[in-house]
Amino acid sequence: MATQKLPALDGHDGSTLPQGVPQAVPDERSLPAVSGKVKIAAPPANSVATPQAVPVLVPPTAPSSTSSQSEVKPPRAELNAPYEILGSPDESVRNAFPPERIVGGRYIIEERVGEGGMGRIYKVRHRDLGKQFALKIIHKNLAQQPHIRDAFYREARMAASMNHPNIVSVFDFGVDPTHGAFIVMEYLSGETLAERMAREGVLEPKASCDIVLQCAEALAFIHSFGVIHCDIKPENVFLCHPTQASDARRNNVRLLDFGLASRPAVDSREIVAATTVAGTPTYLAPERIRAQSPTPASDIYALGVLFYECLTGHPPFDGRLQEIIFGHLRREPMPPSQRLGRPHTPFHPSLEALVLRALGKEPGQRPGSAAEFAFALRHVMAEMGVARRLDAVGLPSSPRADLCEALVDSCPLPMFVASPTGEILFGNAALCQILGIPPADLRGKLSSTLLARWCPRIERDVRQVLARKRASRHTLVVHNQSGEARGGWLTLAPFRRDEDIVGVCGIVALMGDHEGEGRS
């Protein structure tokens, strides 16, 4: 049937039309279902508009008899909906969102939750999965600068490669035509350490130790990959709300923001130079102020500043920028017990000594690594009577647990549990015997024991087990006291707690069954 133009309809204001004439709408995508498209014909050029004039409507072409029951679907390109759920137009409309509310075609913005120097952070919901995420969008003016945009992509790739319980997880990143570059992270419920300190002023030593210990473990993990965070500060330490009532006193830490992270051994000179003096002056290590390349010791210094601030409510050096810089370079920090300036429970001497050691002016005066710092802090917490965090989250004692503990202790096979950084957390009596170490001295990194001599790539093997999330077996060559060599195997497997991988467990098996021959 040919299309016919109808004359203007006098006496109607456009809100209602005579029966049989379709109504004009501003956006055809809002139509729930139509059998054709409504075209709005422009009035003649010589016509004069009147208050009663309404658009001239062109009715849709009548469908043929063979397709009378079929409906014309809106173009897929106009809808932010995946192919699988594009059924009838009704379904399509329910899955359509304006461009300003959807990012990357699948993340629906629900609210803005924060803003920083680089961009804004939103709470979003995945359109198809219904899961909530945090989405970071870089400011448009910064996104136009190539080096800033490249740094944003580096942050996304670097953070996505880190799989650790104390590091925020990154799931996706890309570029949206409306919003620009974005990063998708896990959505965390809680507050930053800066917000907590602003509310409470000074944290209790127990809480401070627990928070800093988790930060040190996260730093030890990223340092093992050659990555320096370069921006440790309270704003980048997130304290998650407990998910269970039994965890009400715990501080579950996530380390945030890898925007300034550096890999001196891999990155180009320009990138390393750009991150050398970047960061918040209050937490800059002296060598970074002198424009030297960042090292793990630089992160340890910043962690020492954060530790000092948790205990006293103030950083060791504050005031004007010149005073802060001069303090980092020339002044010795006041002991935390003196800086607090009010009656308080005396700090444990070992705690205060560890904080001041981390604030050494030269990198060699600080703990040799973040793992060493974490190890020293655990000993301080033990002296203070604070249970280790790994032990504190254990299950209540039960007959089965007691039986398992007795079985491991009496097992003739050497067994151990190590952290993601290769630090020994537990070893049974057989391990102490084969290594020739008293049980009280069984601590430190795996690389510092005879296991590293028998299996030279043990630290790399631990990282591979964590990355692949499956067990692996490695050959050993053990020399006894008489110089004879014995073959064996080291089996490494992921160590899980509450379905999370928190380390590795190892079992040593040597050929032969003569007691004591494996000791060097």
Active site residues: 231
Give the 3-state secondary structure of residue 208: helix
Rounded to whole angstroms, what are the CA distances from 381 to 104, 207, 311, 389, 394?
46, 11, 14, 10, 17
**Token pair listed for 289:** 């102020």
Q: What is the C-alpha separation between 377 and 210, in angstroms, rounded?
A: 9
Q: Do 500 and 417 touch, CB atoms closer than 8 A? A: no
Q: What's the rounded Cα separation, in Å, for the pair 279 and 305?
A: 14
Helices (H) and strands (E) in the chain, counts: 17, 16
Query: Do 188 and 195 meet the contact criterion of CB atoms below 8 Å apart?
Result: no
CA atoms 298, 300, 302, 304: torsion sign: negative
Both tokens assigned to 501: 């991988």
177: buried, middle or exposed (CB in 10 Å: 19+, 13-18, 0-12)? Answer: exposed
Structure tokens belonging to residue 254: 């996530």
* CA nearest to 5, candidates 83, 59, 42: 59
Q: 248-267 burial string, b = 16+ CB within 10 Å, else e?
A: eebbbbbbbbbbbbbbbeeb
CA–CA dist 337, 347 (Å, integer): 6
The 3-class secondary structure across 100-134, one letter per residue, is: HHEECCCEEEEEEEEECCCEEEEEEEECCCCCEEE
- Residue by residue, what is the 3-state secondary structure of 281-309? HHHCCHHHHCCCCCCHHHHHHHHHHHHHH
DSSP state of 50: -
Kind and range of the H or E run holding 138:
strand 132-138
Closest CA to 193 of 273, 313, 330: 313
Angle, nearest 10°, between helix axes 205-223 and 296-312?
Answer: 170
Tokens representing 340 are 């607090």
Structure tokens at 183: 């990063």
* Three-state DSSP class for residue 359: coil
Length of the chain: 520
**Alpha-carbon gap, residue 449 to 239, rounded angstroms:** 35
Radius of gyration of the chain from its Cα atoms, rounded to whole angstroms: 32
DSSP category for residue 357: H
